[in-house]
C-alpha cells in the first residue's frame, strides 16, 4: 500500500526484476517492429467489450471491460442548478439585468451565455486508493480539462447547438444551467495505468447521456417534458445519411484521452503494466473530432511520470561482488555510470522535443491512431 502511495502519478511500482525489465526494454525498442509481450502491433489496442445504458438511475452510463479482467463503469447524472454570477463580475450579463435597452440589444447579438468549467464534476474511484490520493485526482483533472476545454468549430445545426462545447450545452438560460456529475468506478485492481479504460468508458457514457426535453422557453424557470422518450441527447446526433445502417452520426463527440509511451525509437499505444514499466516517456494525449471536418483536434497533452524511474537498476557482472572470480578483470570498471548491454538502467532525464512531436503526430495524423480509435468507438451501438 505504501508503494502505491509513493508512485503517485504512475499506477504502481512495477514488480519486475532488472533482468526482466532489460528483456522487455530490448524487445520493445527493436527498430521498426517492436515485439510486445502480448503480440500486439505498436498501435493496436487490447480487445474490449463495451455496453451502454446499463444503469437505469442515471442519465447515461457505460461499461467497458478489457480482456484481462479490468472493468470500469461510468454513470452520468445531471442536475438543474441556479446560475450564480460572481459578485464582482461586471460584464454584459449584469448590465442587461438593469433593463438597459442598448445593452440588451448588444447582448442578444453575441453568444448569449457561456458555460463554466465547474459545472462538470468528475470523480474517480479506484480500489486501493483513497479519493484524495494523487492518482485519482490527477486522472480526473486530466479527463475533465479536455472535456470542458473542447469547443466545437465549423457550422451545421447540431454543431451550433454545441457552440460553446460541453460547457455551452449545459446552459439552459441566463439563470439556470445543468450540472453534470461524471462518476467513474474502476471495478478491479488497476492492472495497468487505468487511463485508456476510464477515458473510453467516459466517452461512451457521455454519448448515451440524455437530458429531459425543455418545454419552457427563454428566461422562464425551466420546465421539462416528463416523457423520457422525448429526451434529447447531451451530444446531439444527426440521422440524416445512413439509410441501411441505423448507426447515428455525431457531429460533435466527446474527447478521448490516449496513453502513448515511447521506448527507444518506437511509439507504442495502450501499454499494459509491463510495457509502461520500461517506458522512456509517457504522454496522455486528448483528441476529438473537430466539428464537421475530418481532421482531429488536439485538446491537451500531459506528461506522466514514467514508473521506470522507480525501478532498481541492474548491476553488471563487472561490478558485482559475487561475480568477482568469474569476470576477467575485477575492479577495473569504475563509476558504473555507463550503459552496459543487457543490464537494466532506468532512463534519466526527460524527453526530446522531436520525440514528443512524433508521438503527437502518430495520434493526429491522417489515418492515425486517433481516427482508428474514434471509428472503433463509433462501432459501439449506443441506445
173 counts as binding other proteins under rule CB under 8 A? no
Nearer to other proteins, 62 or 186 (CB): 186
Whether 22 and 247 have beta carbons less than 8 Å apart is answered as no
Touching other proteins, residues 177-236 (CB under 8 A): none
Does 294 help bind other proteins (rule: CB under 8 A)? no
Please say whether the beta carbons of 153 and 306 come within 8 A.
no
Closest distance to other proteins from the beta carbon of 193 (Å)? 13
Helix (H, G, I), strand (E, B) or coil at 249: strand
Least separation in angstroms between CB 138 and other proteins = 5
Q: Tell me: does residue 86 bind other proteins (CB under 8 A).
A: yes
- Cα-flanking dihedrals φ and ψ of residue 318, to 5°? -65, -20
Q: For residues 78 and 231, give the distance between their C-alpha atoms in angstroms, rounded to a whole number.
A: 13
Q: Note whether 362 binds other proteins by CB under 8 A.
A: no
276 binds other proteins (CB under 8 A): no
Among 212-220, 244-252, 352-360, 373-381, the segment contacting other proteins (CB under 8 A): 352-360
Q: Per-residue x/- mask for other proteins, residues 91 to 110, rule CB under 8 A? A: x-xxx--x-x--x------x
In Å, how far are 45, 176, 282, 359 from 179, measured between CA atoms?
Answer: 33, 10, 32, 35
Give the total of residues touching other proteins (CB under 8 A): 68
Rounded distance between C-alpha atoms, residue 27 and residue 40, angstroms: 13
List of residues 6+ apart from 319 with CB closer than 8 A: 333, 336
14 binds other proteins (CB under 8 A): no
How far apart (Å, rounded) are the C-alpha atoms in residues 125 and 371?
29
Nearer to other proteins, 170 or 380 (CB): 170
Residue 192 contacts by C-beta under 8 Å, 6 or more apart in sequence?
11, 68, 70, 271, 272, 273, 276
* 360 sits near other proteins (criterion: CB under 8 A): yes
Query: Toward other proteins, which CB reaches closer, 186 or 356?
Result: 356
Q: Is 19 in the site for other proteins (CB under 8 A)?
A: no
For residue 129, the minimal CB distance to other proteins (Å) is: 12
Taking the least distance from each CB to other proteins, the nearer of 115 and 212 is: 115
Place of cell 447524472: 77
Binding status of residue 128 toward other proteins by CB under 8 A:
no
Residue 218 CB, nearest distance to other proteins (Å)? Answer: 20
> What minimum distance in Å lies between the beta carbon of 100 and other proteins?
6
CA distance 167 to 119: 7
- Smallest gap from Cβ 375 to other proteins, in A, equals 21
Given CA atoms 260, 263, 266, 271 in this order, what sign does their dihedral have? negative
Residue 297 as a binder of other proteins (CB under 8 A): the answer is: yes
Q: Rounded to the nearest whole angstrom, what is the least distance from the CB of residue 6 to other proteins in the complex?
A: 6
x/- contact string, 131-170, with other proteins (CB under 8 A)? -x-x--xx-xx---xx-xx-x-----------xxx-xx--
Cell numbers for 91: 460584464
Tell me the backbone φ, ψ of residue 270, rounded to 5 degrees. 45, 60
- Cell numbers placing 342: 543487457
As given in the structure block, the three cell numbers for residue 336 are 558504473
Grid-cell match 487511463, residue found: 195
Please, which residue, 137 or 247, has the CB nearer to other proteins? 137
3-class secondary-structure state, position 373 = helix
Residue ranges that bind other proteins, judged by CB under 8 A:
2-3, 6, 8-9, 82, 84-91, 93-95, 98, 100, 103, 110-111, 114-117, 132, 134, 137-138, 140-141, 145-146, 148-149, 151, 163-165, 167-168, 283, 290, 297-305, 309-313, 346, 348-353, 356-357, 360
Amino acid at each position: 500500500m505504501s508503494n502505491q502511495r509513493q508512485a503517485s502519478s504512475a499506477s504502481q511500482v512495477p514488480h519486475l526484476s532488472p533482468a526482466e525489465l532489460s528483456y522487455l526494454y530490448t524487445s520493445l525498442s527493436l527498430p521498426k517492429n517492436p515485439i510486445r509481450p502480448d503480440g500486439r502491433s505498436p498501435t493496436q489496442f487490447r480487445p474490449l467489450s463495451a455496453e451502454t445504458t446499463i444503469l437505469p438511475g442515471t442519465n447515461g452510463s457505460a461499461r467497458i471491460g478489457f480482456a484481462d479482467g479490468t472493468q470500469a463503469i461510468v454513470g452520468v447524472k445531471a442536475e438543474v442548478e441556479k446560475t450564480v454570477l460572481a459578485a464582482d463580475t461586471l460584464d454584459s450579463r449584469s448590465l442587461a439585468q438593469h433593463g438597459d435597452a442598448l445593452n440588451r440589444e448588444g447582448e442578444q447579438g453575441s453568444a448569449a451565455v457561456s458555460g463554466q468549467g465547474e459545472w462538470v464534476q468528475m470523480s474517480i474511484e479506484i480500489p486501493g486508493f483513497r479519493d484524495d490520493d494523487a492518482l485519482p485526482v490527477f486522472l480526473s483533472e486530466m479527463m475533465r480539462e479536455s472535456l470542458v476545454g473542447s469547443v466545437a468549430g465549423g457550422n451545421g445545426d447540431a454543431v451550433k447547438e454545441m457552440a460553446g462545447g460541453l460547457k455551452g450545452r449545459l446552459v439552459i438560460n441566463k439563470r439556470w444551467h445543468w450540472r453534470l456529475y461524471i462518476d467513474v468506478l474502476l471495478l478491479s485492481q488497476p492492472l495497468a495505468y487505468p487511463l485508456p479504460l476510464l477515458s473510453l468508458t467516459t466517452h461512451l457514457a457521455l454519448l448515451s447521456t440524455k437530458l429531459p426535453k425543455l418545454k419552457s422557453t427563454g428566461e422562464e424557470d425551466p420546465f421539462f417534458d416528463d416523457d423520457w422518450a422525448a429526451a434529447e441527447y447531451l451530444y446531439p446526433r444527426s440521422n440524416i445519411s445512413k439509410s441501411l445502417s441505423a448507426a447515428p452520426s455525431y457531429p460533435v463527440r466527446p474527447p478521448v484521452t490516449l496513453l502513448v509511451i515511447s521506448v527507444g525509437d518506437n511509439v507504442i499505444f495502450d501499454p499494459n503494466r509491463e510495457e509502461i514499466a520500461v517506458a522512456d516517456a509517457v504522454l496522455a494525449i486528448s483528441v476529438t473530432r473537430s466539428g464537421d471536418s475530418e481532421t482531429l483536434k488536439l485538446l491537451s497533452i500531459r506528461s506522466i511520470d514514467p514508473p521506470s524511474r522507480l525501478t532498481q537498476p541492474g548491476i553488471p557482472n563487472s561490478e558485482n561482488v559475487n561475480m568477482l572470480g568469474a569476470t576477467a578483470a575485477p575492479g577495473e570498471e569504475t563509476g558504473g555510470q555507463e550503459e552496459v548491454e543487457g543490464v537494466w538502467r532506468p532512463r534519466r532525464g526527460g524527453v526530446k522535443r522531436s520525440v514528443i512531436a512524433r508521438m503527437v503526430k502518430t495520434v493526429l495524423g491522417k489515418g492515425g491512431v486517433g481516427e482508428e480509435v474514434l471509428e472503433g468507438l463509433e462501432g459501439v451501438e449506443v441506445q
